[in-house]
């Protein structure tokens, strides 16, 4: 994974970002705990998961008291899963509704959260529309959660992706939110050029995701040489 991380840092720098300040979140969805250990071994302490079951399974396999590892929950927040996740998750990146914030605040007062923005109005995508973001952020701030910033998943088309990233940056600036979690393996450069402070990388860092099955996450992981 060291070579993949070096490639990611080159991509960040080529897009005008500072690899020392743009935080890389390793998205290990579909991989086993070995991928998390590999990320930690190269200095990537932020790990993102989309599914509660996978995050909890990996947490049980690793040292739960390890201060170096920071878990980010990236999937849609299901309130019935918050109780289990609350002691483990360090950053909830996908809060899209006040009720989700209420449940997080009840289970882990003062938790760090990002409000997820649906900047492009993509059908079926989790996120808060831009016109409702002020109300959402105000509501979850009122719950005494630490609202650190905004997150978005951009459309695949580059022009639409750039517009989504610009929208997030404008809204984050207006709301005084420093963290901008935007950009994945395929649109990292666009996101960094538009001011990303955090990028969520699966394929570029861990390699192509294995086919998802009904069973537990795979127990083995092999480094992907190109990181793309």
- 7 lies in some domain: yes
- 48 lies in some domain: yes
What was the pLDDT predicted at 218?
45
- 147 lies in some domain: yes
DSSP string, the chain: -HHHHHHHHHHHHHTT--TTTSEEEEE-TTS-HHHHHHHHHTT--EEEES-HHHHHHHHHHS-TT-TT-EEEE-SPPPHHHHHHHTTT-SEEEEE-SHHHHHHHHHHSTT-EEEEEE-TT--TT--SB-GGGHHHHHHHHHTTT-EEEEEEE---SSHHHHHHHHHHHHHHHHHHT--EEE---TTTHHHHHHTT-SEEEESHHHH-SPPPP-SSPPPS-----SS--
What was the pLDDT predicted at 67?
55
The total of structural domains in the chain comes to 1
What was the pLDDT predicted at 5?
98
What was the pLDDT predicted at 18?
97
- 216 lies in some domain: no
What was the pLDDT predicted at 211?
72
- 219 lies in some domain: no
What was the pLDDT predicted at 219?
40
Q: What is the mean pLDDT of each run of 10 residues along the chain (228 residues)?
A: 97 97 96 94 96 95 73 96 96 97 98 95 85 97 96 96 97 98 97 98 92 50 34
- 213 lies in some domain: no
What residue numbers bound the domain in which 163 lies?
A: 2-206
- 163 lies in some domain: yes
CATH of the domain at 180: 3.20.20.10
- 144 lies in some domain: yes
What was the pLDDT predicted at 209?
83
């Amino acid at each position: 994974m060291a070579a993949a991380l070096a490639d990611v840092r080159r991509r960040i720098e080529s897009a005008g970002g500072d690899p020392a300040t743009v935080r890389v979140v390793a998205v290990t969805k579909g991989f086993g705990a070995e991928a998390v250990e590999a990320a930690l071994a190269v200095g990537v302490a932020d790990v993102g998961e989309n599914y509660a079951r996978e995050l909890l399974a990996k947490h049980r396999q690793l040292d739960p008291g390890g201060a170096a590892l920071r878990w980010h929950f990236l999937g849609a927040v299901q309130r019935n899963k918050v109780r289990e996740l609350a002691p483990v998750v360090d950053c909830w990146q996908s809060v899209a509704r006040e009720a989700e914030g209420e449940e997080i605040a009840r289970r882990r007062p003062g938790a760090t959260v990002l409000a997820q923005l649906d900047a492009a109005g993509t059908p079926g995508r989790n996120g808060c529309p831009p016109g409702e973001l002020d109300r959402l952020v105000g509501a979850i701030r009122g719950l005494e959660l630490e609202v650190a910033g905004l997150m978005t998943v951009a459309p695949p088309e580059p022009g639409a992706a750039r517009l989504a990233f610009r929208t997030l940056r404008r809204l984050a600036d207006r709301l005084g939110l420093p963290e901008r979690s935007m950009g994945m393996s395929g649109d990292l450069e666009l996101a960094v050029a538009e001011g990303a402070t955090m990028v969520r990388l699966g394929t570029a860092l861990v390699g192509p995701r294995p086919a998802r099955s009904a069973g537990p996450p795979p127990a083995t992981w092999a480094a992907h040489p190109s990181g793309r």
